[in-house]
Amino acid sequence: MTADKKDLLAMYRTMVTIRQFETMAGEYFAAGQIPGFIHLSIGQEGSSTGVCSCLRPDDYVATTHRGHGHMIAKGADLKRMVAELFGKATGYCKGKGGSMHIADFSIGILGANGVVAGGLPLICGAGLSIKLRKTDQVAVVFFGDGASNRGPVHEAMNMASIWKLPVLFVVENNQWASTTPQGSACALGDLCRRAAGYNMPGYSVDGNDVLAVRETTLKAVAEARKGEGPSMIENKTYRVRGHFEGDPQKYRDQAEVLTWQEKNDPVKRFEELLLKDQVLTKKKSKTVWDEVKGELDAAIEFAKNSPFPKPEDALEDLFVNA
């Protein structure tokens, strides 16, 4: 048993939190209350939750433009996240980052990255730092199937492997890189096969099965902590929303989206499993959804009541001791 009842319920709560957070973000964006543009991870909660459930607070995570779920699963504060989305001074980045650039270095989140595959070279640095400092931390980078085609991925996976860095390369194959279907942009169907080229273990996992993700990640994390080097995990999942909110999605058939939503929703799947195994009751489930909604409402209230940054705050934070 790799997860006791407490773990299972914690994972369920995390998935519910991500789902509600993303849904809320989509609604506030549509209502014009979130500036810029946002990328939601609805339908990918199994990957973020499963992976991060295996991590300690001092482990590192580098995430992507679609990073809200990873942030939440690693333990980020909802109030400061919502405030950042709203562009408020109380946000994680005091309004300088927005949805695409949230970080919390106090819990090892090295930041969401607006450059596709930008996190991979950086995570090698974190892995190298762990090795030089001789700790047993691990460093995880999330990236997408689109990112997997970029050059830095090759450099990073090779370097991590030759130096046996404690790094997990987690590719979330959500089938769509913006408007481009995965199969038309990469000669491989199973992206985990790339791992063989770097002599590291590669796993393809049903990314919408949170326990399968956790199982595989636990193994990879244990190997990394022991100094046995990096692994690649491909979580096969699906991007239910558009690339960005407001994406007209002319490139795909909505029937495809509906099929995934109805038949392969990671939150629903886990909920049904927990109900079947009597870890969860309908009543307890409702309590979790209600409690999370309460937390989110409080976070939204906090964000709404927070001040915008002063315009001239734009000149702060460029340099240490500036």
Which parts of this chain interact with other proteins (CB under 8 A)?
A: 60, 62, 91-97, 101-105, 110-111, 113-115, 118, 120-130, 132-133, 139, 151-152, 155-156, 158-159, 162, 316-321
- Nearest approach, Cβ of residue 166 and other proteins (Å): 12
- Nearest approach, Cβ of residue 228 and other proteins (Å): 19
**Residue with smaller CB distance to other proteins, 187 or 318:** 318
**Residue with smaller CB distance to other proteins, 45 or 104:** 104
**Residue with smaller CB distance to other proteins, 104 or 234:** 104
**Residue with smaller CB distance to other proteins, 290 or 316:** 316
**Residue with smaller CB distance to other proteins, 150 or 284:** 150
- Nearest approach, Cβ of residue 100 and other proteins (Å): 9
**Residue with smaller CB distance to other proteins, 124 or 211:** 124
| Residue 191 to residue 214: CA distance in whole angstroms | 19
- Nearest approach, Cβ of residue 157 and other proteins (Å): 9
Three state DSSP letters for the chain: CCCCHHHHHHHHHHHHHHHHHHHHHHHHHHCCCCCCCCCCCCCCHHHHHHHHCCCCCCCEEEECCCCHHHHHHHCCCHHHHHHHHCCCCCCCCCCCCCCCCCCEHHHCEEEECCCCCCHHHHHHHHHHHHHHHCCCCCEEEEEECCHHHCHHHHHHHHHHHHCCCCEEEEEEECCEECCEEHHHHCCCCCHHHHHHHHCCCEEEEECCCHHHHHHHHHHHHHHHHCCCCCEEEEEECCCCCCCCCCCCCCCCCHHHHHHHHHHCCHHHHHHHHHHHCCCCCHHHHHHHHHHHHHHHHHHHHHHHHCCCCCHHHHHCCCCCCC
- Nearest approach, Cβ of residue 106 and other proteins (Å): 8
- Nearest approach, Cβ of residue 97 and other proteins (Å): 5
**Residue with smaller CB distance to other proteins, 16 or 167:** 167
- Nearest approach, Cβ of residue 95 and other proteins (Å): 8
CB atoms < 10 A from the CB of 138, how many?
A: 29
